[in-house]
Amino acid sequence: MTAKPSALPPTTSSIDALRGMRDGGFRHGPVIDEDRRIVSLISRGDFRGLEQVRLDSGTGLIERIC
């Protein structure tokens, strides 16, 4: 288990959560409230369809530009 995992506030958009997990190289992440209590756990598998398509198309666009 990761000693100091990256955590997301509940206000994080789905695409930002997916991007953070991809960039961080992990598939799961805790969602924490303002008191640093875990309120949920998200997984890359939770995001299907539109969120994954948006991430893939954004990544493809960046790769074509660079």
> CATH number for the domain including 33?
3.90.1280
State the pLDDT at residue 65. 54
Structural domain count, the chain: 1
Report yes or no on 5 lying in a domain: no
49: containing domain: 14-65
Q: Which residues contact 39 (CB under 8 A, 6 or more apart)?
A: 10, 31, 32, 33
| pTM higher than the cut 0.75 | no
Q: Which of 50, 35, 40, 54 is nearest to 12 (CA)?
A: 40
Rounded to 5°, the CA angle 33-35-29 comes to: 40
How does the average pLDDT of the chain come out, rounded? Answer: 79
Whether residue 38 has pLDDT greater than 70: yes
Proportion of the chain above pLDDT 70, given as a percent: 76
